[in-house]
Amino acid sequence: KAGVTQTPRYLIKTRGQQVTLSCSPISGHRSVSWYQQTPGQGLQFLFEYFSETQRNKGNFPGRFSGRQFSNSRSEMNVSTLELGDSALYLCASSLNGHPNTEAFFGQGTRLTVV
Amino acid sequence: DQQVKQNSPSLSVQEGRISILNCDYTNSMFDYFLWYKKYPAEGPTFLISISSIKDKNEDGRFTVFLNKSAKHLSLHIVPSQPGDSAVYFCAAKSQGAQKLVFGQGTRLTINP
């Protein structure tokens, strides 16, 4: 059974640009969450999608957005990139996002903003 | 406001001995707790979880203990192996919420 797949693995962008990251969840999983990991802030929740609807959103500015497609694949977009957006972006999938189910993470996309 | 805290940034244990990683939380609405292990440049790997209706859950070498009154949980690894060297994250969820709230992580080093 394939795990969570994130593409690309590494990305370098210039300040002011925008970026789109992709996540394919485990087959059969319908909930996809996104997290940002930085040395200073640790792992921070961005948002969660289930059946193409955003159910939860973390404390990030509107420059961070996402969507989910009918096949449960999800994309995350960051516009007007800032240096502080440099981070490891992690996607996690779970069967239905029920509180008592485990979330499985992808390997992440390492974004560097220069 | 750090709702989940791992107060030890690092821990060093001899191979074969017990590793004990600790986690404290402040939000009494949390009712499901998970431990993840993370290697550099990889995503976190799920290890073990526990619901607030239990006080212990065991899976092979890994045991998680939950003390609700103290708002404290711990992960025991017995016996510790060199491959256990990684960063361990404690995470919590509250009823009805899908997001995980993570601690800052503890770097575990197993010495031969």
pLDDT digits (tens, 9 = 90+) for B95-111: 777 789 999 999 999 99
List all residues of chain A from 39 to 78 with a beta carbon under 8 Å from chain B.
Answer: 42-45, 48, 50, 55-56, 58
Using the Cβ of B48 and the Cβ atoms of chain A, whether some distance falls under 8 Å is answered with: no
pLDDT digits (tens, 9 = 90+) for A85-97: 999 999 999 987 6
Separation CA A18–CA A99 (nearest Å)? 32
Inter-CA distances, B41 with A26, B38, B55, Å: 20, 8, 33
Banded pLDDT at A2 (limits 50, 70, 90): confident
pLDDT digits (tens, 9 = 90+) for B17-51: 999 999 999 999 999 999 999 998 789 999 999 99
Mean pLDDT, chain A, whole residue set? 93
Separation CA A42–CA B90 (nearest Å)? 12
pLDDT digits (tens, 9 = 90+) for A15-45: 999 999 999 999 999 999 999 999 878 899 9
To which H or E segment does residue B87 belong?
strand B86-94
Nearest Cα of chain A lies from the Cα of B95 at a distance, in angstroms, of 6
Using the Cβ of B1 and the Cβ atoms of chain A, whether some distance falls under 8 Å is answered with: no
Mark yes or no for CB contact A43/B94 under 8 Å: no
Minimal Cβ distance to A97: which of B43, B51, B98: B98
Using the Cβ of B3 and the Cβ atoms of chain A, whether some distance falls under 8 Å is answered with: no
Using the Cβ of A109 and the Cβ atoms of chain B, whether some distance falls under 8 Å is answered with: no
Q: What is the pLDDT of residue A4?
A: 96
Inter-CA distances, B33 with A39, A89, B37, B70, B87, Å: 23, 22, 14, 14, 17
